[in-house]
A and B are shown apart, each in its own frame.
Chain A
Amino acid sequence: MERLTPQAIIDSFGKELGDGFVGGSVYECEVAVKKNKFRSLWVEVKKSAFRDAVEHICHLQEYPHLAIISSSDLGAEVELIYHFTIYYGRHLEELSLGLRVKLPKSDLKIPTITDFIPGALFTERETQEMMGVEVVGIPDKRRLFLPEDFPEGAYPWRKDEKGPPNDMLRVLPGREPK
């Protein structure tokens, strides 16, 4: 498969997704003595174009590696970043690609990508239980890490009223409760 430059990859998202593409950037920094460049790409897409974007990544790289989904509570919305790596297996050619999608808190739903990448199941289950984002069509809805007696409707990574209840938090001696 032809290998694109980082900027060409971002442009290809714009071409492929049209309106669904929000923006993209390339981060570079020099490493050690020879100053080879560490490169990571950040691409933001609209929720409606999310599955198309993942499909596009599958075209860039057969079996893209999905490292993890990270999620941030930004107040009015929740931001999910799917951390992919592509072009692995060759000396210093790998690129990290963060696919960013923002969901309003009124509609915390994201379609599953386990049909493209079966190994995404664990991280989708974790995102579901920790952030309260419903993964539509997930083949296994159970919790992954949280115990069965953890209260329903509380999500540890949320920073609003749906975060972990206060009585579950232990305040260290000499500290004020948040």
Chain B
Amino acid sequence: MTLEETKKATYTIPVGPIHPALKEPIRLALSVDGEEIVDVDIFAGQVHRGIEWLGMNRNNPIQSIYLAERICGICNICHPFSFVMAVEHATGITPPARAEYIRTIIAEMERIHSHLLWAGVAAHEIGFDTVFYLAWRVREEIMDLIEYVTGNRVTKAMFQIGGVRRDITEEQFPRIRQSLDYYKSLFGQLKRVFLDDRTIRMRTKNVGILKREDALKLLTVGPTARASGVPKDVRQDQPYGAYADLDIKAMTPDMVTGTIVGDVYDRIIVRLLEVKQAIEIIEQCLEKMPPGPILAQPKIALLLKTLTQAEGEGIGRAEAPRGEVIHYVRLEAGQSTLATWKVRAPTYVNLMAVPTILKGMQIADVPITFASIDPCMSCTNRTVVTDRATGRKSVVDCEELHRLSVEKTKELPR
């Protein structure tokens, strides 16, 4: 139904560019009829930093690894992972097998921390702050582990073209296993909290449904696609890293419930299952990790020379916590920068599905529904509500929209 067809007065509610359900700025224009959303338009670009341009005009490829790492604060493994793979495919450099295993371990640690972070945010969006505190408390363990292994909590600087920069040694294994055991002991409790709690079920079941066909047509990736029953996972589908040696299976909600609805609840299930899967993958990697060097070319100056002389193109694809990340790289001989660099993050395609997901929903469901695709964009604090009939504008701030969502939880029949 378009605006013109609506007989009743329709409001347009711009959500963002700054908003609590978004971790990065984006603007959604919601056309609402009463409480119901009839149309959604998306305006992106508020944080376009021209990173690809810098890689094509200013930085050499090795510098671009660290720039790729800073594309996103949460998934700062998958971007350098895809980037170095793309450069390796373009130049024919093969990383040693041990480096592939270390890359995979770090990538799975990132998945655990990202999914737990999301679980907390999602609980906060429906006003269930106890669970938010619980999830983020539990997340601290993996952050400590990441710091122990890489030396940093956020930007880990582990990646190098043709390998990794730091080894994971035998002495570190017991500490890693200790954290994994901690999560394994907690998993039952987390599952009970997120899947069996009445409030969470009522706020997430049959909310924000994305049908399988729409998920395919709109090219969604990651948990958003898998929750709709598309078993698409780069780790399963295409060999890269140590995943090529393991038997990975894409997680879909029917493994728990037996059916696929494609709602917010299903997206919670997929992410929970993936936390468990990530723990198993790390354990297998620790077991099977082959000995050997961690870099194909340890001398940076020589590596840089190879890269400057190289000619070719390649793509690198990695499964980020939010879905497939793809980097395309083209190198030209004699050029110190990349000739072409194209990055596609998972939210880029998942955003296409937002209008479909939000249509027919209520305003109070916007925070949890939008958060359910785990959009990698930033945090907000006000919304302008325009009354189309009178042209009157009023400002609904972050607290107001959040209050609406909390109230809806409170009003649920007990």
Contacts and interface: CB of A to CB of B under 8 A. Distances in A.
A34 B290 CA distance: 11
Interface in B199-254: 216-221, 230-232, 234, 236-242, 244-245, 247-250
A121 B349 CA distance: 10
A2 interface: no
B339 A96 contact: no
Interface in B323-372: 324, 326, 328, 330, 339-340, 342, 344, 348-349, 351-352
Contacts of A70: 328, 340, 342
Given A32-B245, A40-B89, A96 B239 contact: no
A91 B236 contact: yes
B236 A96 contact: no
B110 interface: no
B241 A89 contact: no
B50 A67 contact: no
A72 interface: yes
Contacts of A54: none
Contact of B245 (A34, A122, A147): A34
Given A32-B97, A33-B97, A63-B216, A92 B239 contact: yes
A94 B48 contact: no
B244 A34 contact: yes
B183 interface: no
B239 A145 contact: no
Nearest to A150: B45
Nearest to A122: B352
B290 A33 contact: yes
B328 A83 contact: yes
Nearest to A172: B58
A36 B249 CA distance: 16
Interface in A92-131: 92-94, 96, 98, 117-123
Contacts of A37: 239
Given A32-B100, A89-B230, A145 B44 contact: yes
Contacts of A71: 340, 342
B315 interface: yes
A64 B169 CA distance: 42
B44 A88 contact: no
A81 B53 contact: no
B330 A72 contact: yes
A92 B244 contact: yes
Interface string B84-124: 00001100101001001100000000000000000000000
A154 interface: no
B217 A65 contact: no
B315 A36 contact: no
Given A89-B230, A144-B44, A27 B89 contact: yes
Interface residues of A, number: 50
Nearest to B330: A72
Interface in B49-74: 50, 52-53, 56-58
Contacts of A62: 216
B46 to A, nearest CB: 9
Given A27-B89, A88-B237, A118-B218, A36 B244 contact: yes
B210 to A, nearest CB: 12
Nearest to A27: B89
Nearest to A74: B339
A68 B349 CA distance: 9
A173 B2 CA distance: 52
- A30, A71, A94, A121: most-surrounded residue (chain B CB, <10 A): A94
13 contacts: A32-B245, A38-B89, A38-B238, A38-B239, A40-B315, A66-B219, A67-B344, A72-B330, A72-B339, A85-B317, A91-B247, A156-B53, A157-B53
Given A31-B240, A120-B219, 9 more contacts: A29-B89, A32-B97, A33-B245, A36-B245, A38-B239, A89-B237, A92-B239, A96-B317, A119-B218
Interface of B: 44-45, 48, 50, 52-53, 56-58, 88-89, 92, 94, 97, 100-101, 216-221, 230-232, 234, 236-242, 244-245, 247-250, 288, 290, 314-315, 317, 324, 326, 328, 330, 339-340, 342, 344, 348-349, 351-352
Interface of A: 27, 29-34, 36-38, 40, 62-63, 65-68, 70-72, 81, 83, 85, 87-94, 96, 98, 117-123, 143-147, 156-157, 164, 172, 178
